[in-house]
Amino acid sequence: MATTLLLVPTAFELKILRDALASGIDLSSVRLECCGFGVIASAARATQLILASNPDRVILSGISGGMNNRLQVGLAYWFSEVAAYGIGAGAGDQFLTAGEMDWPHWAAPDQPEGKNIGDVIELTPTDCPADSHGGLLVTACAASAHPLDVNLRLKKFPSAAGEDMEGFSVALAGKLCGVPVEIVRGVSNHAGDRSKQNWKIQEALAAAAELLIERLA
């Protein structure tokens, strides 16, 4: 039975990663699956797959946007934390996160308050080179379409370095199922830049595959 459940949001990301990984590691101990695009599909599918495969760990990979110019487009990074943006009240400058509303994303009725899951989830530490540490990843319900969107995310999470649409969901699924979660993302573009001619999708996924091979070999 596979000990690592490796999740990617979309079929095209999965194909590229599978081809790259097959040349560097034995995939017999890795279950590689799509988790779906966005916060809802990825939460539901990740939970389904965790319960079905009972993995020792979950790794989420795929592409992401870089924020604050801290991460280089075309490279990949392991993230240490993931935050949720877009779940709460209001919009734009008036947006309040769930935490700011004093509502946790998950509060177990039979657990002490310290077990509540707030706006930020700490990921499983990864022993990786300093230059591949990504720091804080922000999961948004909709990707940034303009630098103003990026600024709104940074207003809530000033240390954020990357943006995706699945990380928090998969991390929450892992927390509820008692399975450690790691996230490695290839940076395909600057968050807020929707001009695909500026993106480096192939390079970003190739870089993510390299880090995964180092981790899984």
In the predicted structure, residue 6 carries a pLDDT above the cut 50:
yes
Q: 124-132 — which CB contacts under 8 Å span 24+ positions?
A: 124/57, 124/180, 124/181, 124/182, 125/80, 126/78, 126/80, 126/182, 126/184, 126/215, 128/78, 128/211, 128/214, 128/215, 132/75, 132/76, 132/77, 132/78, 132/211
Domain locations along the chain: 4-216
CATH class belonging to 4-216? alpha beta
What is the per-residue pLDDT across 154-176, written as a single tens digit (0 to 9) for each? 999 999 999 999 999 999 999 99
C-alpha 214/C-alpha 128 separation (Å) is 9
Residue 12 is predicted with a pLDDT of 96
pLDDT at 1: 45
- For position 114, what pLDDT does the model report? 63
Contact (Cβ atoms closer than 8 angstroms) between residue 35 and residue 8 = yes
Predicted TM-score (pTM) of this structure:
0.95
Q: What is the per-residue pLDDT for 185?
A: 98
The tens digit of pLDDT for each residue in 91-145 reads 999 999 999 999 999 997 776 666 789 999 999 877 888 889 999 999 999 999 9
In whole numbers, what is the pLDDT of the chain averaged over residues? Answer: 94
pLDDT score, position 78: 97
Task: Tell whether the model's pLDDT for residue 46 goes beyond 80.
Answer: yes
